[in-house]
Amino acid sequence: MADPLSIASGIAGLLSLAGAAFHVVHQYIRTAKDAKDFVKALSKELQSLSSVLQGVKILAEAYEQDETEPSVGLRLEHISACSRVLDDILKGTSSIRDTVKNQKSRTSKVENLKWPFRKSKTDELINELSRHKATLSLALDAASLSALVDCLGKSSWKLRHPGTGIWLTESLRFRTWLLEEGSKIWLSGIPGAGKTVLAGAAIREALQQVATVSNVGVAFFFCDYKNKKTWNITNILGAIATQLAWQNESAFAKLKQYHNEIKPRQGMQLRPKAEDLHEVIIEESEAFDRILLVVDGLDECGDNAEIVSRVLSRLNQDIPNLSSALFSRDEPGIRDVLQDQFDQIDIAAHSEDISLYVGAELEKRIEQRQLRINDMHLKDEILLILTTGAQGM
C-alpha cells in the first residue's frame, strides 16, 4: 500500500493544480471575445474536480488527529495520471496567462486570443478529467463510510454470524424507524448482549434503504471507551456532517461554507465548534427527504455520556426528517435524557440468535472432528444448555 503521507500530499498538489487550471480557463472565457462551449465545458469539469478534491481535504482533516490513517482506495498512479492531464492544460494555456497578465483593461475583450487546443483535444481532456474525478469520488466515498467504521467504530461486523439480528431488523418497531421520518429508537442492553453487532446490522439495513429509495441520507458513529476522541461531541457531529456532505451536493456546499469560515486561506484558523456543527447538520438535512442516523456506545463516552445523549436528542428535535437509532447500556443518565422521546427496545441476545450460532458452531466442530458426538440426544442437550445458559449474552 502507498505511503498515506504521499497520498495526502499528492491530493493537496492536485487541488492546487486543478485550481490553477480552472483559473486560467476561466480567465480565457472572461477575456476572449467568442469562447466556445467546449471550453466552458472544460471549465465546469475543472470546477467539479476541484470540488471533489476539496471534499477530500475536508475528509482528511476529519482524521488528521487519528493515530491510524483511514484506508483510501487510491494509488499514487491515479494521482500521477490526473496530474499529467492538469499539467497539459497549464502548459498549453501559458500564452493565455501571459496575454491576460499584460492586458491593460480587465473588462475589455481580446479579439485575437486563441484557445490553444482543438475541440477534439479539449473533449479528450474533459473525458480524462471526468474519469479521474469518478475514480476519486468512488474511492473516497467508500472511504468516508468504511473508514469511519474501521477508525472510529471497531464495529465488530466480522463477528456477526450470518442470520443473527433478524429478530431486530424484521421487527415492526425497527421497520417503522427505517421507513418513517422522525422515528426514534433507543436500543439498550447489558454488556455482551451484542449491541454493536446489531448496530452494524442496522447500518446495513439503512444502506440498503438508500440503494432503493432516492434522497435518503445515512450517517453513523461508533463510540469506543478505548478511544477518548470518540467521546467528543464535536468529533461525533463532525463525522455526521462529513458523511451527509458526501451524499448530496447541497449538503456538501453547506459543510464547505462552514469549513471556509473556520479555515480561511488568510487569517487565523479556528477549530470546529459543536454548536456550529449542529447548525450545519440542520442545514444539510434540508437537502434530504429523510436521514437515518445510527450511533452506538453512548455509555462508552465516560463522563460525556449524558452530554452526547442530550445533543443527539436535541438534534432529533431540531430536524423533523431525522430518524435516529441509538445504542447503549441502560444507564440512569442516558435514560433520563432519552426515555421520554425515544421508543426503547431492550436488547438481550435472543434465543434464536444464540441457537443459530451455537448450532452452527457445533456442526462445524463435528465436521472438523474437533468434537465427537455419536449420541444425538447428547448433541441436543449441549445445544440446550449453551443456549439457556447464555443469559442474554
155-159, 170-174, 308-312: range with highest mean pLDDT: 308-312
> In the predicted model, what is the mean pLDDT of residues 313-332?
95
- Is residue 145 over pLDDT 50? no
pLDDT, position 234: 92
What is the 3-class SS of the chain, one letter each residue? CCCHHHHHHHHHHHHHHHHHHHHHHHHHHHHECCCCHHHHHHHHHHHHHHHHHHHHHHHHHHCCCCCCCCCCCCCHHHHHHHHHHHHHHHHHCHHHHHHHHHCCCCCCCECCCCCCCCHHHHHHHHHHHHHHHHHHHHHHHHHHHHHHHHHHHCCCHHHCCCCCCHHHHCCHHHHHHHHCCCCEEEEEECCCCCHHHHHHHHHHHHHHHHHHCCCEEEEEEECECCEHHHHCHHHHHHHHHHHHHHHCHHHHHHHHHHHHHHCCCCCCCCCCCHHHHHHHHHHHHCCCCEEEEEEECHHHHHHHHHHHHHHHHHHHHHCCCEEEEEEECCCHHHHHHHCCCCEEEEECCCHHHHHHHHHHHHHHHHHCCCCCCCCHHHHHHHHHHHHHCCCCC
Give the pLDDT confidence score for residue 16 in this predicted structure: 84
Task: Report which of residues 310 and 268 the model is more confident about.
Answer: 310
Averaged over 6-17, what is the pLDDT? 72
| pLDDT, tens digit, 9 for 90 and up, residues 76-110 | 667 778 888 998 999 999 888 878 777 655 555 66
Mean pLDDT computed over 195-206: 82
Q: How do residues 351-380 score in pLDDT, each as one tens digit? A: 455 555 556 566 666 666 766 666 666 655
Residue of 120 and 62 predicted with greater confidence: 120
Please compute the mean of the pLDDT values over residues 131-142 and round it to a whole number: 68
Query: What is the per-residue pLDDT across 25-48, written as a single tens digit (0 to 9) for each?
Result: 988 998 887 788 999 999 999 988
